[in-house]
């Protein structure tokens, strides 16, 4: 899951466009007065997560994460952006127009620290969303010492912000920017990365009687301790058995299942076809965060 090339092309194009001789942007200051944060957000593979707040302090309450079942890792491949009301001094943010290493003047402090082999970086995007509507500081993780922007375009390697299979990961970033006149403004952003429990295996079936079915599945790679929602649907006959399809799914039992097996013995009829699927969930507070639902698999009760 590390060293994936999933940082959006939007970021690269805007950063490449900012590589001008005069500095990190070539636009005149379009807004007078002191710089101020007007919005924050997080972009995960193009899906935005907006923050709320005022002044310098903002919170992004829910940021998605992605489970890679094959490597048993979970994280959030994307970047923060802190948008200001006016154009900024790019050299108060990054080393130069082609290097996103934060400069000392930015006073960038982020917890948790980047994992081994990666670092936190900050880039100035003067065209967010257009030169006369503001400017953003873009913050993200990438492999250490590889942040020179390709002059001819391409993709920047990025590493995911590590997440957890069972708990919210809280990322906190603070810093200080300057506008072209030297006026300073601070930002204080907290993002809550919610867990992705991963994909449970498709159901298989153990002992089956006329009125009960034992449903089994395998745990996802990212979170073997997940709870599960098991759902059953009646069969909708097709022209042939191969064309049968499930009807409306409803949860089996009143509670999530702990473990990877459950016996369904409520409301079943002998010699009848039913469909099952399983969704892994993690529970944070009182909220379920669901992974991807397994495939739908059919079974027929005994005569």
Query: What confidence tier does 28 reach under pLDDT thresholds 50, 70, 90?
Result: very low
pLDDT tens digits for 94-149? 888 778 889 999 999 999 998 888 889 898 887 665 555 568 898 988 888 766 65
Q: Are residues 117 and 185 in the same domain?
A: yes
Q: Are residues 44 and 129 in the same domain?
A: yes
Q: Per the domain annotation, does 1 fall within a domain?
A: no
Q: Per the domain annotation, does 50 fall within a domain?
A: yes
Domain of residue 283, residue span: 204-300
Range with the poorest average pLDDT among 278-282, 288-292, 293-297: 288-292
Q: Per the domain annotation, does 14 fall within a domain?
A: yes
**Which residues, in sequence order, are CB contacts of 237 under 8 Å at separation 6+?**
244
| Alpha carbons 213 and 216: distance in angstroms, whole number | 10
Q: Are residues 178 and 276 in the same domain?
A: no
Q: Tell me if 148 sits within 8 A of 124, measured CB to CB.
A: no
Query: Could you say which of 193, 217, 234 is where a domain stops?
Result: 193
Q: Are residues 125 and 250 in the same domain?
A: no
Tally of domains in the chain:
2
Buried b (16+ CB within 10 A) or exposed e, 290-302: ebeebeebbbebe
Q: How many residues does the chain have?
A: 303
Q: What is the per-residue pLDDT for 96? A: 81
Q: Are residues 185 and 64 in the same domain?
A: yes
Q: Are residues 52 and 188 in the same domain?
A: yes
Q: What is the per-residue pLDDT for 238? A: 93
pTM tops 0.75? no
Asked whether residue 9 carries a pLDDT value surpassing 70, the answer given is: no
Q: Are residues 183 and 225 in the same domain?
A: no
Q: Are residues 185 and 209 in the same domain?
A: no
pLDDT tens digits for 51-105? 999 999 999 888 877 787 777 777 777 788 899 988 889 899 988 877 888 999 9
Q: Per the domain annotation, does 229 fall within a domain?
A: yes
Q: Are residues 187 and 45 in the same domain?
A: yes
Q: Per the domain annotation, does 29 fall within a domain?
A: yes
Write the CATH number for 224: 2.60.40.10
Q: Per the domain annotation, does 273 fall within a domain?
A: yes
Q: Are residues 210 and 109 in the same domain?
A: no
Query: Could you say which of 173, 193, 213 is where a domain stops?
Result: 193
Q: What is the per-residue pLDDT for 181? A: 87
Q: How far is CA 38 from CA 53, 80, 83, 105, 181, in A?
A: 9, 14, 6, 21, 19
Asked whether residue 174 carries a pLDDT value surpassing 90, the answer given is: yes
- pLDDT-above-70 percentage for the chain: 80
- The alpha-helical segments, DSSP class H, found in the chain are 9-17
Q: Are residues 179 and 86 in the same domain?
A: yes
Asked whether residue 7 carries a pLDDT value surpassing 50, the answer given is: no
Asked whether residue 22 carries a pLDDT value surpassing 50, the answer given is: no
Query: Could you say which of 149, 168, 193 is where a domain stops?
Result: 193
Q: What is the per-residue pLDDT for 150? A: 52
To the nearest whole number, what is the mean pLDDT of the chain? Answer: 81
Q: What is the per-residue pLDDT for 236? A: 97
Q: Per the domain annotation, does 2 fall within a domain?
A: no
Q: Are residues 45 and 139 in the same domain?
A: yes
Query: What confidence tier does 283 reach under pLDDT thresholds 50, 70, 90?
Result: confident
Query: What confidence tier does 247 reach under pLDDT thresholds 50, 70, 90?
Result: very high
Residue with the bigger pLDDT between 115 and 291: it is 115
Neighbours of 13 (CB within 10 A): 13
């Amino acid at each position: 899951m590390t060293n994936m090339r999933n940082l959006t092309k939007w970021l690269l194009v805007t950063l490449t466009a900012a590589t001008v001789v005069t500095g990190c942007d070539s636009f005149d200051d379009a807004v007078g007065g002191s710089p101020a944060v007007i919005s924050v957000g997080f972009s995960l593979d193009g899906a935005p997560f907006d923050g709320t707040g005022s002044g310098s302090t903002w919170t992004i309450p829910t940021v998605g994460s992605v489970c890679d079942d094959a490597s048993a890792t979970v994280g959030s491949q994307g970047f923060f952006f802190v948008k200001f009301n006016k154009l900024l001094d790019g050299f108060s943010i990054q080393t130069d127009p082609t290097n996103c290493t934060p400069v000392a003047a930015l006073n960038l402090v982020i917890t948790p620290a980047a994992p081994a082999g990666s670092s936190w970086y900050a880039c100035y995007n003067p065209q967010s969303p257009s030169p006369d509507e503001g400017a953003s500081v873009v913050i993200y993780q990438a492999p250490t010492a590889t942040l020179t922007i390709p002059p001819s375009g391409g993709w920047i390697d990025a590493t995911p912000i590590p997440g957890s299979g069972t708990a919210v990961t809280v990322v906190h970033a603070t810093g200080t920017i300057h506008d072209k006149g030297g006026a300073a403004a601070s930002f204080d952003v907290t993002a809550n990365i919610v867990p992705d429990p991963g994909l449970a295996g498709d159901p298989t079936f153990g002992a089956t009687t006329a009125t009960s079915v034992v449903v089994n599945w395998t745990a996802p790679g990212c979170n073997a301790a997940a709870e599960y929602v098991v759902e059953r649907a009646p069969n909708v006959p097709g022209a042939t058995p191969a064309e049968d399809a499930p009807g409306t799914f409803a949860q089996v039992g009143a509670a999530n299942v702990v473990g990877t097996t459950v016996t369904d013995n409520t409301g079943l009829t002998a010699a009848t076809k039913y469909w099952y699927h399983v969704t892994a969930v993690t529970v944070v507070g009182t909220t379920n965060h669901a992974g991807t639902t397994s495939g739908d698999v059919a079974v027929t009760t005994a005569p």
